Amino acid sequence: MSTASSTPTPQRGPGRPPAGTSQGESVRDRLLDAATALAVEQGFDACGLREIAARAGVSSGMVSYYFGDRDGLHDAMFQRALERASEQVARLLADGEHTLDTLDAFVRLHVGILAADPWIPQFIAREVLGGDSGRRGYVAHRVGGGPLRMLVDWIEAGVARGELRADLDPQLAALSLASIAIFPFIILPVIGAEFGLTLEQLSPERLIEHNRSLLNLGMRAREDDA
């Protein structure tokens, strides 16, 4: 099985665009765009490789050429999505502005990322937490050593400035910030019908406003903290 951390470099065959050229990257990106769009529309496992290739406007052989197999395609989808999300979070937290508005902006950004690619939480729960060491190692390096670490630092700075509660545990607070956005996307497909709220019924704005209110109450410094 291929992993997100070790996608093989394809060898050029007759009539195939050379890897590393703009034409080759365009075909690869079109396949990833098509696979991502179909994953959002139909579910992560519902679309076939032929359908993905047809959506991208290329032959089905291009899927195996660039990604090897379905696992390789899934890994590449996940890697690209996680890299883009990590870069957005990193830019937000590294801009030098340590204000309370950043907390609201983080909540909006995180929920927006997950709402745009709702297959990501399911992939993490099944493929990453399921025990694949390659995928785990990639996530540990990309998230644990990147945006999550930056979020801990941002919380520590907010506590030091008196903007956030003095009794916050920065590491647990960072985990809570990440968890309240991602958990509904993992659990609602399982319990939604019994719980009375499906993922389709949960609008991003509803989740954003709820999380903002919850975090404002739980994290922002109170007057008696001064």
Give the CATH class of 78-225: mainly alpha
Q: What is the pTM of this model?
A: 0.78
Q: Which of 186, 185, 187, 151 is nearest to 169 (CA)?
A: 151
Residue 136, helix vs strand vs coil:
helix
- Which residues, 6 or more positions from 123, have their beta carbon under 8 angstroms from its beta carbon? 44, 74, 78
pLDDT tens profile 118-173: 889 988 888 888 766 678 888 888 888 888 898 999 999 889 988 899 999 999 99
- DSSP lists the bridge partners of residue 164 as 220
Where do we find the tokens 């919850």?
Answer: 214
Residue 90, helix vs strand vs coil:
helix
pLDDT tens profile 185-217: 999 989 999 999 998 899 999 999 999 999 888
Distance, CA of 91 to CA of 83 (rounded, Å): 12
